[in-house]
Amino acid sequence: MALYSEKVMDHFRNPRNVGVIEDADGVGEVGNAKCGDIMKIYLKIDDDIITDVKFETFGCGSAIASSSMATELIKGKPVAEAMELTNKAVAEALDGLPDYKMHCSVLAEEAIKNALDDYYAKKSQNNN
Ligand code: FES
């Protein structure tokens, strides 16, 4: 059996939504201290809908595939729904990751949550 699913290979070789959003409404960055991999997520949000999302990942193939899939899963979705995204859902959408690579999908969940926290923090500042 192949170690990685076709979907993982596809998103690793041809990642979706790579890049930066200059005027992002929320930015989140997380790292994994053990492997040293870093993921950064940029969100553009209008009326609580994620209208655009980009990522930069300095990391392993599974982290790149997870960020790519995670951005696809939250694009066009309400922020509340994106907040519920779990690393398990990302891994499932990729048709699975090897057990010892599950932590790579956790980076995607955490980076998105950080970016959403940043969005909420900026929003409450603007309302004051
Ligand atoms: Fe570090 Fe995959 S090995 S995120």
Ligand 1 centroid – CA 18 distance (Å): 17
| Residue 5 beta carbon below 6 angstroms from any ligand 1 atom | no
- Whole-angstrom CA distances from 111 to 1, 2, 70, 73, 128 are 31, 28, 10, 14, 26
Average pLDDT rounded to a whole number, residues 14-34: 97
Is the model's pLDDT at 125 over the cut of 70?
Answer: yes
For residues 72 and 17, the answer to whether their CB atoms sit within 8 Å is yes
| Residue 28 beta carbon below 6 angstroms from any ligand 1 atom | no
Active site residue 60: no
Average pLDDT rounded to a whole number, residues 122-127: 86
Right CATH number for 6-127 from 3.20.20.70, 3.30.470.20, 3.90.1010.10, 3.40.47.10? 3.90.1010.10
Q: In 3D, which of 60, 72, 75 has the Cα closest to residue 105?
A: 60
What predicted TM-score, i.e. pTM, was given to this entire model? 0.95
Give the chain's radius of gyration (CA, Å).
14
Ligand 1 centroid – CA 98 distance (Å): 12
